Structure 1
Amino acid sequence: MDKIFESIEEWMRNLLTGMVSSNLTNMFTDVNEKTGDIASQVGQTPQGWSGSIFSLIQNLSDSVIVPIAGMIITFVLCYELISMLTEKNNMHDIDTWMFFKYFFKMWVAVWFVSNAFTITMAIFDVGQNVVNRAAGVINQQTAINIDSVVTSMETAMESMEVGELIILALETLLASLCLKVISVFITVILYGRMIEIYLYSSIGAIPFATMSNREWGQIGSNYLRGLFALAFQGFFIMVCVGIYSVLVANIQVSDNVHTALLSVMAYTVILCFSLMKTANFSKSIFNAH
């Protein structure tokens, strides 16, 4: 009878140990894959992320927004000319240099509107370059050695009772599920950022049309700050993921298994909240409203 109970216990131990090892392997595999996936997502330009959406936004910008921007820049330049003439003692102190300055400003303003979409994409190219450099550093330093973690866990489980193994199996299952749920939130954050980039890119000609005027130029300058904030938000996302990966990699599984799993779940929740804060943080850095 004792041998039967021992066999059942050994079978349960093997079952639970295999379940824990499987959950743990999947959990830390998700950590490594998530780091690489975020790097590839935030490191893509709008054109590389979705060529069809990019073509749609570009067509909307060229066919719908640019004509409206042309009307706005006509009004702004006329307003600028009137203001320039009236400022000089009601047209009594007119200088020839004033007109050269005005025509140069007009040429620059028209060039900005005509190349608004190209300038917008150039800003995101700069952001992509920064993100790709950060991704190279993070991926090299924070990849978690899954085999060593599983080996440490299996060594710790040898001294555990069946009841403790059941609790551990439930904890690893919960931690793995937590990571999967958080990965959905991360996907939403990344896709939301790209949609916001497309929205910014589609309307760019109108803010650029206001930049030649001192009073209206705040619209264009704030738009530029918003573009830089979106472009460099990807860098802040990579910093958050890098910090998260380092924290998870430094968890000592052999010391306290339960504490290690709770730490993984806590770090994952912190990662999600940090990623949601990157947009506001980037806007505050670049003073974008």
Structure 2
Amino acid sequence: MNFLWTSIQEWLKEILVSGIMSNLSGLFDSVNEKVADISGQVGTSPQAWNSGIFNMIENLSETVILPIAGVILAFVMTLELVQIIMDKNNFNDIETAVFFRWIFKTACAILIVTNTWNIVMGVFDVAQQVVGQASGVIIGDTSIDLASVLPDLEARLTEMDIGPLFGLWFQSLFVGITMWALTICIFLICYGRMIEIYLVTSIAPIPMATMLGKEWGGMGQNYLRSLFALGFQAFLIIVCVAIYAVLVQNIAVDTDISAAIWTCMGYTVLLCFTLFKTGSLAKSLFAAH
């Protein structure tokens, strides 16, 4: 009976060890690929990311939104003129210079609206240049290599009892599912940001038409702040990835296999959480105070 029980134990141990090795094999490959791709994604301008979408958005902005912005601009500047006149009780108190200032402001507003697309793309060009310089300085190796973190993994698993092996098999299975979820999260963050950029730039002429209005100017200023927030969100993402690269390269070799795997997973979860927070953080930095 002891021989039979020993054989069953060895058979179960072989199944569990092979299952754990299968679960851990390439466990972080998809995450490593997505994290390595982040710097390329956020360092790409809207035009280079997808030229087809870029041309479509530019065409919509100039043919559909720009005429509406022209009507809004006419309303805003007419309201501005009416307010200038009504500020004085007597027309004799109005200086001729205020009309010249109004004409100059209107001309500047028209210039801004007609060149809205160039202004918006200029904001992202500046942000992407900063991101490109930063990525060349601070980005390191972001890959998690279990072979270096856990040397002689299979031999160490063979020495473990069936109970710990069974628990480790469940843990490796759960971590594998979590890694796929985190891969999807990283994909959504990178692609969602670019889609948000296209959506925001498509309606750019409307808020820009209110930029120089006395009462409506806050709309245009807030819109410009949101553009800078979207642009420099990429810089914050690069910094997050750089911190992650330092953390994963300093994972200590631990005799506890479970602790090492959960440490690697914890760093990846932390990266995804901070990537989600970069959007709100960038907007708070550029918000009006």
Into which bin does the TM-score normalised by the smaller protein fall?
0.7 to 0.9
Indicate conservation of the 8 Å contact 1:105/1:212, yes or no.
yes
Cα offsets for 1:71-96 (capped at 9, x unmatched): 11111222222222333553313434
TM-score, normalising length: structure 1: 0.85
Shift of 1:243: 2.8
Matched, 1:282 2:287: no
Which moves more between the two structures, 203-212 or 152-161? Answer: 152-161
RMSD: 3.0
Q: How far apart in 2 are the matches of 1:45 and 1:80? A: 37
Amino acid at match of 2:64: V
Q: Is the 8 A contact 2:149 2:260 kept in 1?
A: no
SS at match of 2:91: coil
SS at match of 1:151: coil
Q: CA deviation at 1:25?
A: 4.8
Distance in structure 1 (CA, Å) of the matches to 2:122 and 2:107? 20
1:247 equivalenced with 2:251 (yes/no): no
Distance 2:254 2:22 in 1: 17
1:215 aligns to what SS in structure 2? Answer: coil
Q: Which residue of 2 aligns with 1:90?
A: 90
Is 173-182 or 244-253 further displaced after alignment?
A: 244-253
**Shift in CA distance, 238/22, structure 1 to aligned 2, threshold 3 Å:** farther
- Confirm or deny: 8 A CA contact 1:26 1:176 kept in the other structure: no
C-alpha displacement of 1:68:
0.6
Identity value in percent: 47
2:13, 2:158 within 8 Å by CA — same for their partners in 1? no
One-letter identity of the residue aligned with 1:107 = A
What are the equivalent positions in structure 2 for 1:54-203 lying under 5 Å apart? 54-140=54-140, 142-144=142-144, 147-151=147-151, 153-154=153-154, 156-157=156-157, 159-161=159-161, 163-203=163-203
Cα drift, residue 127 of structure 1? 2.1
- Aligned counterparts of 2:177 and 2:244: Cα–Cα separation in 1: 18
Q: State how far apart, in whole Å, the 2-side matches of 1:171 and 1:146 are.
A: 15
Q: Please give the secondary structure, in 1, of the residue aligned with 2:26.
A: helix
Per-residue deviation at 1:280? 1.6
Q: Distance in 2 between matches of 1:152 and 1:253?
A: 11
Q: Which residue pairs with 1:236 in the alignment?
A: 236
Distance 1:56 1:35, change over 3 A: same
CA distance in 2, matches of 1:43, 1:17: 42
The corresponding residue for 1:226 is 226
Q: Is the 8 A contact 1:127 1:231 kept in 2?
A: yes
Residue of structure 2 in register with 1:216 after alignment = 216
Amino acid at match of 1:125: D
Tell me the alpha carbon deviations over residues 12-31 of structure 1, each in whole angstroms, 9 at most, x when there is no partner. Answer: 76776565455445134334
Q: TM-score, normalised by structure 2?
A: 0.85
**Aligned equivalents of 2:150 and 2:30: distance in 1?**
14
Amino acid at match of 1:114: T
**2-side partners of 1:210 and 1:287: how far apart?**
18
Q: Which runs of 4+ in 1 moved over 6 A?
A: 1-15
2-structure distance, mates of 1:24, 1:245? 20
- Matching residue's letter, 1:257: I
- The answer to whether structure 1 residue 261 and structure 2 residue 225 are counterparts is no
Deviation (angstroms), 1:237: 2.3
Between the two proteins, the alignment pairs up a number of residues equal to 289
SS across alignment from 2:255? coil
Flag structure 1 segments of 5+ consecutive residues without an equivalent. Answer: none
Amino acid of the structure 2 residue aligned with 1:236: L
When residues 262 and 53 of structure 1 are mapped into structure 2, their CA distance, relative to the original with a 3 A threshold, is same
3-state SS in 2 of match to 1:194 = helix
Offset from partner CA, 1:230-265 (integer Å, 9 cap, x none): 112222222333333333332223332111212223
Change (3 A) 1:281 1:129: same
Report the Cα offset of residue 150 of structure 1: 4.7
In structure 2, C-alpha distance between the alignment counterparts of 1:135 and 1:158, rounded to whole Å: 42
